[in-house]
Amino acid sequence: MKTIVVASGNAHKIAEIKTFFPHDTLLSMKEIGFTDEIVEDGTTFVENALIKARAIHDFLQKQGKEYLVLADDSGLCVNALGGKPGILSARYSGEHGNDQKNREKILTEMQGQTERTAFFSCCMVEVFPEGQYLIWEGKVMGTILEQEEGEWWFWYDPIFYCDELGKSFGVATAEEKNSVSHRARAIQNLLEQEKKNR
């Protein structure tokens, strides 16, 4: 059993990650007493994930705690918009964390577009107490719907139609989404590597 700190304050994200580590103890930033603001000024998902992971790692080192750290950065990349919102996914509308306005901006910009392919991308970083780190990535392909659907109003899920599921993330169950999601795939790549290293 390991103690892992997830570099996030997003309860939904932490709950999703916990499903992949049933035998480990997962802690949020709040639970370890981390209250500083992390400035994610990287230009890629990898850079931003590393910024978050290192901030938590350094905080734990000062407290003398030998915990693993998991951090991820992820986003929606729409091909017709040149890959946007990308790393700006959480604040695309100008208001950080306003999922509804972020979705509305995408739908407005996509009006009249016939090329609607898109993908979710996730970069997952694991930092060990000694400071070494490993990086994994995951993607899921799909298309942007013309309007929101479903009752699952998290992030861009209601406007993202997943090719593999044959339905939008807005109507998919948590189990269905976790079977194909970008974050799930990044974590699965991590877990597969851990098995090989045992």
CB 47 within 8 A of CB 75: no
Query: For residue 58, what is the DSSP state?
Result: H
Q: How far apart are CA 26 and CA 44, in angstroms?
A: 26
H/E run at residue 162: strand 160-162
Lowest mean pLDDT among 1-5, 30-34, 95-99: 95-99
- Model-level pTM? 0.87
Pick the catalytic residue from 41, 58, 72, 73: 73
CB 182 within 8 A of CB 173: no
pLDDT higher than threshold 90 for residue 158: yes
Query: For residue 89, what is the DSSP state?
Result: G
| CATH code at position 69 | 3.90.950.10
pLDDT digits (tens, 9 = 90+) for 107-122: 999 999 999 999 999 9
Confidence tier at 106 by pLDDT (50, 70, 90): very high
Active site includes 72? no
The strands making up 133-144's β-sheet, listed across from edge to edge, are 25-27, 3-6, 68-78, 117-127, 133-144, 160-162, 167-168
Mean pLDDT, rounded, of the chain = 92
What 3-state DSSP class applies to 75?
A: strand
First to last CA, the chain: 14
Q: How far apart are CA 4 and CA 31, in angstroms?
A: 11
* Cα pseudo-dihedral 100, 94, 17, 137, rounded to 10: 120
Q: What average pLDDT does this structure show over 165-184?
A: 91
pLDDT digits (tens, 9 = 90+) for 20-58: 888 999 999 999 999 998 998 999 999 999 999 999 999
Percent of the chain predicted with pLDDT > 70: 98
pLDDT, residue 34, reads 95
Structural domain range at position 16: 3-197
Strand ranges inside 7-154, DSSP E? 25-27, 68-78, 117-127, 133-144
Confidence tier at 198 by pLDDT (50, 70, 90): low
The total of structural domains in the chain comes to 1
pLDDT higher than threshold 80 for residue 65: yes
pLDDT higher than threshold 90 for residue 195: no
